[in-house]
A and B are shown apart, each in its own frame.
Chain A
Amino acid sequence: MSLALNIPVIETERLRLRSHREDDLDVIADFFADDRSAFVGGPKDRAESWRVISGALGHWALRGYGMWLVADKATDAPIGGVGFLNPEGWDEAELGWHVFNGHEGKGYAYEAAAAAKSYGAEHFGIPAPISYIAPANTRSVALATRLGATYERDGEVLGNACHIYRHSKAEAA
């Protein structure tokens, strides 16, 4: 039995959205060692960070869509993560993003999320995903707004109260 991990590669002006790889572990473990990762389930130790990589791959296998590793297009170095999450406990598919240490403030998350959003509309049948956002995560609120999402309702994910933003219907590219 052969399982396809059909993880497409998407290129934007500065970024490449690609599959997570084991050699991304140093950067991912560094991100999850920091309290900044609290908004995406951290902090986690190095072994748990490896499981983030394997879990991201398994999500693609189970759902047919998932999170991409966002890499610098020129160097292939990891910059962050972006994509669609819909594990057990989620109301529906979420568009999520995070930026690794040292890469904030350059518009990478917007560039990656905009590309992911239009790809999801065209290929995954996800025209108007939600985003779960902790109200205290002002950067993410700003980015969701910039992507055209609006506050829809209060919600809860993994026992944490959060705001649910709804993205406007993306035009399939």
Chain B
Amino acid sequence: MMRYKIPQLETERLILREHREDDIAAEIAFYATDASQFVGGPKSPEDTWRYISMMMGHWALRGFGFWALEDKDTGTYQGRVGLWYPHGWREREIGWILMPSATGKGYATEAAQAARAHAYDVLGWETAISQIAVTNHASKAVAKRLGAVMEETYDAGDAYGEIEVWRHPAPADLVNGGMEAYA
């Protein structure tokens, strides 16, 4: 039997854990609306289910992937944050996607910091990017709060459009006070 470990991480307000069937229902509702336009949506329920199952397979193949974000107080699904590097991807990426009800609370920054710390401290990544749609201002603000710097833009085609590549501070820069400065 193949077994793969999805480490559970905790931040001040969130638990980062594996995805469950209930979370998929929330993602299906999210991808049915234009709120998903910056992250490849809208998608049909069928495509969304396949996307989430593919995300779970990414853990098995890579040893890292997307965590589900659970609100510590209410236990409800807030979105996902993760480490992403499927075949053909530009380079190793830190991603965040919040459900519409979870925005504006600093959850993406809080969760992405934990994911980045896992990438650097546990997995030994030397660097990471985040790819963000040019018009996704909320997500670019998160990248900025994380200390990332916009490096270049490119056209990612129909589903994603014009994309900005943001570069995260290197592990050494975070040790030198980078992380605290943005916490």
Contact = CB atoms under 8 A, between A and B. Distances in A.
Contacts, number: 100
Contact of A3 (B6, B54, B86): B6
Given A57-B60, A57-B61, A3 B53 contact: no
Contacts of B59: 3
Contact of B18 (A1, A25, A47, A50): A1
Interface residues of B, number: 33
A89 B60 contact: no
Interface stretch (B42-50, B96-104, B142-150): B42-50
B52 A6 contact: no
A47 B87 contact: yes
Given A50-B86, A54-B61, A87-B53, A5 B8 contact: no
A5 B1 contact: yes
A125 B4 CA distance: 25
B57 A46 contact: no
B117 interface: no
A117 B52 CA distance: 26
Interface of A: 1-7, 19, 22, 25, 45-47, 49-51, 53-59, 61-62, 87-89, 158
Given A4-B3, A58-B53, 10 more contacts: A3-B59, A5-B4, A51-B86, A58-B54, A62-B24, A62-B56, A87-B49, A87-B50, A87-B53, A88-B24
